[in-house]
Amino acid sequence: MATPDPWAARLRTIRAAGLLCLAWLLVRLAPLRWWRRSLGPSPVLASRSDPVAARHLAAQIERAAWRLPFTVKCLPQAIVLSWQLRRRAIEHRVVLAVRPPAMRDSDDTLHAWVECGEAIVLGELPGPWVRLAAPQDG
């Protein structure tokens, strides 16, 4: 079995950091209607479910987010993972949610996560959450 290349892992983390910066800017500067269709599986490619690969990509994104000099919250991380899964034709769903009205007194009122099959592969956070329409739903 070949040994993993440490430079390849570093380059993947650097690439993820660059994409996180782009997604962070996108969320702050562009309306949702401009970028929502870039989320979710490509309608042209035959999709497959691969939660293991999705979790590996999610771990790279979380590692890159941790190393950035500013806080990258859940939505930019979910956007980047969606882009990477879409590129690999892996079926997934970006979910946007809000806390129930009685629990909206905290800073964690809104949340985004990524599901691959039945598994949450990025952004698992204890609920309860009320799901909103997913951006890729039109």
Q: Are 64 and 57 in contact (CB under 8 A)?
A: no
Between CA 50 and CA 37 the distance in angstroms is 21
Per-residue model confidence as pLDDT tens digits over 14-30: 999 999 999 999 999 98
Residue 66: Cβ-neighbour burial (10 angstroms; 0-12, 13-18, 19+): exposed
Predicted structure pTM score: 0.85
- Does 138 have pLDDT greater than 50? no
Neighbours of 59 (CB within 10 A): 14
Per-residue model confidence as pLDDT tens digits over 63-103: 999 999 999 999 999 999 999 998 888 889 899 998 888 77
